[in-house]
Structure 1
Amino acid sequence: MLFYYFRSISNVLNNVHRDPNLMPDQTAVQPIEPGKPINFVLMGTDNRPGVSGARSDSLIVAQLSGDREHLYLVSFLRDMWVTIPANKVVQKDSKAKINAAYSWGGSALTIKTLQNLTGVQMDHAVIIDFPGFVSLTDELGGVTVYNPQKSTINGHTFAQGNITISGEEALLYVRERYDLANGDLDRAARQRAVITAIIEKSMSADVISNPKKFNDVLKVYSKSTTVDSGLTPTTIRKIATSLRFKDGSSIVQVQAPISGFGKSKDGQAYDIVDEQGLAELSSALKNDRMADYVANHPQ
C-alpha cells in the first residue's frame, strides 16, 4: 500500500505541468526558510475552447503560515481598480481592473501587479482553467458547501443551505455574481468556500484511504493545473510533509478590503481599493501575523 502511494505521488508530481514564465522573475524566488510563511498565488482563468483573451476569473493569495498550521485564502476581487505595470500591450503604468493584468501579460504580470499592490513577495503560482476545475470537482465526487443565499444562473437554481456541487454546476456556482446581493464580494466568498471544500475533500480519509480514488484525484490535479518551475517535486513534498493542519478551521477565508465602487472615464464599473485596510492586510501577510489580522477584522 505504501509503495503504491509513494509511486503514485512521485508519478503525479513529475507530470505536473511546470511553466518557467509564470513568475515575474523565477530567479528572484528564494528558497523558503523554516518558520517563514509561503505565499502562493492561485488563479482560476477563463481559458476555454473557442475563447480568446483570457482573464483571471479568480485571484487568491494563499498564505501558508510559518508554523504550517493555517492556510489563509485571501481573495482579490477581479474588478479592483489598481495600477498595472507597463507591459507589451500597454507600454506604461496604467489604471485598470486587476484581472486585465492576466490578459495583458499572463500570470507574471498579474503577480507583479499583486506584489506592487501589497509590497509582499509572492513565492509560487498555481493556475487552473475552467475545464480543469470541472474535471477536478467531478473526480472528487462533488464538494459540499454552505450557500448563504438562493440564486439562479442560466436557469439553474442554487438553494440556500448546504449544497453539493460538481462539474459544470460547480463552475456556474463560482462564476455567478449578478443574482447575488453583494455581487463580486459574494462571488469571491463562494470561490473561497469551494476551494476550501476541494482542499478538505482532497485530504479527507475517504480519498486518501482509497488507493484508486487517491490516484485518480492526483492525476486530475496533474492534468488540470500549471505551476511555476520552482514548485519542483522535492519542494512540493517538503511543503506537504510540513503541514500541521488540525481540522477544518485550519483553512481561513479572507477578503482583501474595498471601500466602495467607482466608474472609469470610459464607463467601467470597478471596486475601489481600501488603501488603509489593504496596508493592514499587507503588513499581516508580510510579517506572518494573519491570525491577528483575522481576529481584528472578522469576515
Structure 2
Amino acid sequence: MRSEKPKKKKRKWLRITGLILLILLIGIGVYGYTIWNSLTSAVDSMHEPVDRETTKRTETLNLEQQEPFSVLMLGVDERDGDSGRSDTMIVMTVNPEKKSVKMLSIPRDTRTEIVGHGTTDKINHAYAFGGVAMSMDTVENFLDIPIDYYMQINMEGFKDIVDSVGGVTVNNDLDFTYEGVHFPKGEVTLNGEKALKFSRMRYEDPRGDFGRQLRQRLIIQAVLKEGASLNSLTNFDDIFAALSKNIKTNLTFDEMVNIQKNYKQAAGNIEQFTINGTGQKIDGIWYLLVDDAEKTKIQTALKDHLSVK
C-alpha cells in the first residue's frame, strides 16, 4: 500500500471508539443521515461471518443483558512475500459489571496444539493453516475460554486508521531507529506511517517480541484515547473508509450498537498483560514454551473476568 503524506486534521470528532478496532468501545454517536449512511456502509464492508461453533459456552451470549464477552484481534501483515501468518494476536475480555477490559498479548512463537490441523506448532501458524476459524479455535483451546468475536486487521493499512484520527501520541520507553526513523525515549507523536514502523520493530529490542507487543498495545490504546477525547465528527469519510478497507469482523451492526450502549464504561479501565514463557529450540525451530502454572494463571484471570467456569 502506498505511503501518503499525512494530512493535518482537526482533532474534534464524535466518540466513535466502539468502531475503530472494536476496542474503541466508548461511543458511536451518529448525527445526520449522511454520517449514518457512511457508518452502516462501512460496517457492511467490514462484516465477515466465520463458520465455527464454540464449545466453551453452554448458552448463547446476550449483549443486551450486558454479559461479558471476548474478542480475538488478529494483526495480519500483508506485505509482499508475507507468509500469511497473524503476527499480532491480542485477546480482549470486556466486563461491564467490573467496568474493565483485559488485553492479553499472545506471543506469536507460543507453542501449542493447532486445533483442526492435528499438529503442535507456533500459535500464529493457525491463521496460515486455517484462517480466522482455526485461529479462534486454537486460541480458545489454549486459553480455555470462549472466543466470541474476531477482528482481523490489515497491519499495512493500519497506518490509514491512525491517520484518520489525526495521528497518535505515545510514551516510548526505548530509544531506537527503525527503517530510517528515529524514535527517542519519552513522548512521541506519530502519523500512520511512523506508527506502523514503531509497532513493527522487533530485533533491535532486547525484549524481542514482548517489546513489540508492548508498542502495539501502546498504539491501540493511543487510538482509543484519541477517539475517547473527541466530541464532534469532521472527517468521518476518512475514518469509515480506513475501517472498511482494513478490518474484517463477525460483529454485526446491531452488536456494535449494543456494545456502544451497554459496555462503554468498561473501556475506561484497560489492563494490559502478556504470557511469559521460556524460549527453546525444538528440531531447529525456536518456540516460546509456556508452563502449566503460567497457563493456569492466565486462564483463571480471563475466566474470572468473563464470569465463566
Identity among equivalent pairs (%): 28
Deviations 1:171-200 (A, max 9, x none): 111111111121111111111111111122
Q: Is residue 261 of structure 2 the alignment partner of residue 232 of structure 1? A: no
The aligned amino acid for 2:48 is: D
Higher-RCO chain (CA-CA 8 Å, sequence separation at least 6): 2
C-alpha distance in structure 1 between counterparts of 2:97 and 2:114, whole Å: 33
Find the counterpart in structure 2 of residue 294 from structure 1: none
Cα drift, residue 282 of structure 1: 1.1
Q: Could you say if the C-alpha distance between residues 160 and 274 of structure 1 is closer, same or farther in structure 2, counting changes exceeding 3 Å? A: farther
Contact 1:66 1:288 in 2 (8 A): no
C-alpha distance in structure 1 between counterparts of 2:281 and 2:181, whole Å: 31
Match of 1:253 among 272, 275, 283: 272
Q: How many residues align?
A: 274
C-alpha distance in structure 2 between counterparts of 1:113 and 1:277, whole Å: 18
Deviations 1:62-119 (A, max 9, x none): 11114272222110011111111243xxxx2x22111111111111111111111111
**Aligned-CA RMSD value:** 2.4
For residue 25 of structure 1, give the secondary structure of its aligned residue in structure 2: coil
C-alpha distance in structure 2 between counterparts of 1:274 and 1:70, whole Å: 27
The aligned amino acid for 2:94 is: L
Deviations 1:17-61 (A, max 9, x none): 22223x53389983335242110001110123x335311111000
Contact 2:54 2:147 in 1 (8 A): no
Find the counterpart in structure 1 of residue 93 from structure 2: 63
Contact 1:139 1:216 in 2 (8 A): yes
Q: Is residue 280 of structure 2 the alignment partner of residue 262 of structure 1? A: yes
Q: Could you say if the C-alpha distance between residues 143 and 10 of structure 1 is closer, same or farther in structure 2, counting changes exceeding 3 Å? A: same
Provide structure 2 residue ranges, at least 5 long, that are not aligned to the other structure: 1-29
Q: Could you say if the C-alpha distance between residues 217 and 54 of structure 1 is closer, same or farther in structure 2, counting changes exceeding 3 Å? A: same
Find the counterpart in structure 2 of residue 221 from structure 1: 243
Provide structure 1 residue ranges, at least 5 long, that are not aligned to the other structure: 291-299
Consecutive aligned runs of 4 or more in structure 1 exceeding 6 Å deviation: 26-29
Deviations 1:193-225 (A, max 9, x none): 1111112212322xx413x22443233222220
Question: If the length of structure 2 is used for normalisation, what is the TM-score?
Answer: 0.81
C-alpha distance in structure 2 between counterparts of 1:123 and 1:246, whole Å: 17
Indicate the structure with greater helix content: 1
Question: If the length of structure 1 is used for normalisation, what is the TM-score?
Answer: 0.83
